[in-house]
Amino acid sequence: MIPEPIYAGDSALLLQLGDAAIDPDLNAQAIAVAATVRARAIAGVRDVVSTFRSVAVFFDPLCTDINAVTAALRDGIECAPARETGRPVDIPVVYGGEMGPDLANVAAFAGCTEDEVIRRHAGQEYRVYMLGFLPGFPYMARVDSTIAAPRHATPRLRIAAGSVAIAGEQTGIYPRESPGGWQIIGRTAAVLFDPEQTPPALLAPGDCVRFVPSSECGGSPVGFASAILTRPAPLTTRSVTVLRPGLLTTIQDSGRWGHQSLGVPVAGPMDYVAHRVANVVAGNRGGAAALEATLLGPELRFEQDTCVAIAGADLGATLNGARMPLVAPVQCPKASVLRFDGRRSGTRAYIAFQGGLASDPVLGSQATHIVSSLGGRSLKAGDRLPLGEAPAVDVPASRIEHLRARSMPTGGARLRVLPGPQAESFDQTALDHLQRTRFTISPRSDRMGYRLAGGRLAPSVRGEMISDVTITGGLQVPPSGEPILLMVDRQTTGGYPQLAVVITADLPLAGQLGPGDWVEFELCRRAEAIAALIAAEGKLLALR
């Protein structure tokens, strides 16, 4: 019987191919199905991701033929070959010592010597089941059961790039320095991910990896490419100088779509509506690169005459001390200074410059993802931001007047949700409990996700869930029961069930919430979600 795909929110389909946690045949089928969908090049499909035992298709719900996507998924299942043999890849590893600080722990778990752990780990061939967590991070299995030590109860804050690790039956390699809870037994100098290479990831789902014990690491793995923020702009280029960076100001375009299968997050604006409005009012295409300022805006000096538009949160923008209107094109003379006096409403403001920002794209996008360093970092004082030379497109004031009335949340918001892809992992009362609870956004929240306090939502299915795709807007529930609302910088995969997914039309509202704000959830139907998205898109189309 061919399984049916389910909606994961209103902008993704998830096809679950089986129940087995780690099964190479199911994984081979998932890889083949994903390849079939990609090959169809269906209009509106943004990303196709294969996991241990599922396939996720991310799409634009307003222009994608869902029947074509469903047909491609079914055809992929019917045509999937028997388990294929991927590329063989040998990876040299220095085990133990400072390179593998948890080797002794794993040896104690296994009741054997460290040398025996090395022999057992290096004696296996590992299938790459999927990439996720970080760009290029391979989830591989199976580890010899005798050395399959569980994750640390408390994750480390810093794990070195190239670290080879064990988590139960899985083994993996950290492509860059990051936090993590796996058992670190060695390190490699292999470069797992380089966005300037084709393909950017060393490994791909289906590959077969062998670890080769080595006595020399050969240096640290190469880091990620970043957008060039610190390089002075050429004298002939229009530019803006950052005098003060604000609390958190980053460059964002419409996002880095098309690479989630490599573990690359989409990023992009938290409030995509305000981002598009600011760009169009400034005379740019809607997805052009602009600045996203959080809570406390930056201080910027214009090195040439520049047209600027600001939308989203009201952070008290002033130009040379005079109040600057929102959602309006403003001519900023050479040497004038844009400042922000303080938050009045909302959390994130978007500053668009005529011609857009012209930082170097990484994997086709200028969007900043801070955790992986893709697209750069948050701005710093002294950064010089080059501007593009695209011609201006005037937008009549009559077309933008209705957008000025868009209200920002002033203490909280009620968000509409659809059942999540793992809703069956919870009892039938979980969604009711979700709708009756008012949560508060924790100060430990960021662009990756909002940690919510005020209620607990315990899954009815106990034990660790095998890692699967995550959805922007997904309400992920860890063992603590305190949910996490996943936002645009989310990791592409996660090991916690998602009870619900915020509808696309309400994501901009969620993006304007901040620490201390309350949030409530209201279950709706998919038809309502699409109707709300059509209504929101209609207002934006009026700008064109």
According to DSSP, the residues that pair with 128 across neighbouring strands are 140
Average pLDDT (140-156) is: 92
Q: Coil, helix or strand for 436?
A: helix
Portions of the chain given CATH number 2.40.100.10: 88-213, 412-541
Q: Coil, helix or strand for 287?
A: coil
Average pLDDT (413-425) is: 96
Q: Coil, helix or strand for 478?
A: coil
Query: What CA–CA distance (Å, rounded) separates 358 from 380?
Result: 17
Confidence of residue 154 (pLDDT cuts 50, 70, 90): confident
Average pLDDT (331-340) is: 97
Q: Which CATH class is domain 6-79?
A: alpha beta
Average pLDDT (136-159) is: 93
pTM over 0.85: yes
Q: Indicate the angle between helix axes 24-40 and 66-79, nearest 10 degrees.
A: 140
Query: What CA–CA distance (Å, rounded) separates 107 from 127?
Result: 23
Query: What CA–CA distance (Å, rounded) separates 184 from 98?
Result: 10
Q: Which CATH class is domain 88-213?
A: mainly beta
Q: Indicate the angle between helix axes 103-110 and 114-122, nearest 10 degrees.
A: 90
Length of the chain: 544
State the Cα angle at 535 between 529 and 540, rounded to 5°. 125
Confidence of residue 86 (pLDDT cuts 50, 70, 90): confident
- From the options 3.30.70.340, 2.40.100.10, 3.40.50.10420, 1.25.40.10, give the CATH code of 412-541: 2.40.100.10
pLDDT > 90? residue 438: yes
**Cβ contact 167:184 at 8 Å:** no
Confidence of residue 495 (pLDDT cuts 50, 70, 90): confident
| Closest by Cα among 462, 531, 465 to 493 | 465
DSSP string, 109-123: HHTS-HHHHHHHHHT
